[in-house]
Amino acid sequence: MPSRITCEIRDGHPVTVVRLAGDLDLATTRAVHGVLDRCLAAQPDALVVDLADVAVQDRLALSVFAAAARRAADWPAVPFVLCAPPPPAASWLTQSAACRGVLVRGSRAEATRAAEAAASPRLRIRLEPVAEACRRARDLVTDACARWNLPEAVGPASVVLSELVGNVVRHAGTPMQVTVTLRRPWLQLAVVDGSQATARPGAPGVRDEGGRGLLLVRELARRWGSAPAGDGKAVWATLPAN
């Protein structure tokens, strides 16, 4: 049976737009979730979801957008904006506790402007899984903090990103993309590798060839986590941007 909802993706710069059309209910949210997840895994600068042609059949289905907004905020740390919801959906979004905090604008043009205005500065680099990768990751942090005038963040951010990169070198062994994003009041560090193996901290007091690894990340970062990213995963951490 064909899906009762379609998703058209327009990869613009700096904003990616997803236009949904059809019936949104609990049966079609899985397809919508998958599309939004794939869009976020591509790490756009911002994501706008156009709801002008959507008929919301079940208000609970709107929770798919709350989940996507949380994912976008955690990683890849980008603005997520809904636009042009039909009147019933607009009312439900306003009333929904789950969707509180999700940006909603009346038109695609308004949403695009809001997304562009909220887009965060970021630096990226691709690294091979070699020992030198950790040094290059620290250099990236130093450069980012100098550009954004964050002298106190250099030390802890360098340690955290070095551990995230070192974890890929030691365990995943794949090329990686490293991103440093300033989303005030936070500095986000993220590493995307080609392994789907879950990143987990080791046991307290146990040292491997890379030291305390993700345990150190957990100690220094305000938050950290892991999310699927294409054929691999992203491991991210946020620290105060000061």
Are 158 and 217 contacting, i.e. CB atoms less than 8 angstroms apart? no
| pLDDT at res. 200 | 62
147 pLDDT exceeds 90? yes
232's tokens: 């691999």
Q: How far is it, in rounded angstroms, from Cα 81 to Cα 67?
A: 13
Closest CA to 163 of 188, 141, 143, 134: 134
Instruction: Identify the band that residue 214 occupies on the pLDDT scale cut at 50, 70 and 90.
Output: confident
Prediction pTM value? 0.86
* Residues 173-203 pLDDT 10s: 999 999 999 999 999 999 999 998 877 654 4
Are 232 and 190 contacting, i.e. CB atoms less than 8 angstroms apart? no
Instruction: Identify the band that residue 242 occupies on the pLDDT scale cut at 50, 70 and 90.
Output: confident
Q: How far is it, in rounded angstroms, from Cα 241 to Cα 138?
A: 16
Instruction: Identify the band that residue 204 occupies on the pLDDT scale cut at 50, 70 and 90.
Output: very low
* Residues 106-136 pLDDT 10s: 999 999 999 999 999 999 999 999 999 999 9
Total residues belonging to the chain: 242
* Residues 71-99 pLDDT 10s: 999 999 999 999 999 999 999 999 988 89
Instruction: Identify the band that residue 3 occupies on the pLDDT scale cut at 50, 70 and 90.
Output: low
| pLDDT at res. 230 | 85
92's tokens: 């439900």
Average pLDDT over residues 131-152: 97
| pLDDT at res. 203 | 44
Closest CA to 125 of 150, 109, 142: 142
| pLDDT at res. 173 | 94
238 pLDDT exceeds 80? yes
Distance of alpha carbon 124 from its chain centroid, rounded? Answer: 14
Average pLDDT over residues 198-226: 69
* Residues 22-74 pLDDT 10s: 999 999 999 999 999 999 999 999 999 999 999 999 999 999 999 999 999 99
What domains are there in the chain, each with its CATH number?
5-118 (3.30.750.24), 122-240 (3.30.565.10)
| Comparison of pLDDT for 1 and 183, the residue scoring more | 183
Closest CA to 67 of 120, 124, 29, 94: 29
In the chain, % of residues over pLDDT 70: 93
169 pLDDT exceeds 80? yes
170 pLDDT exceeds 80? yes
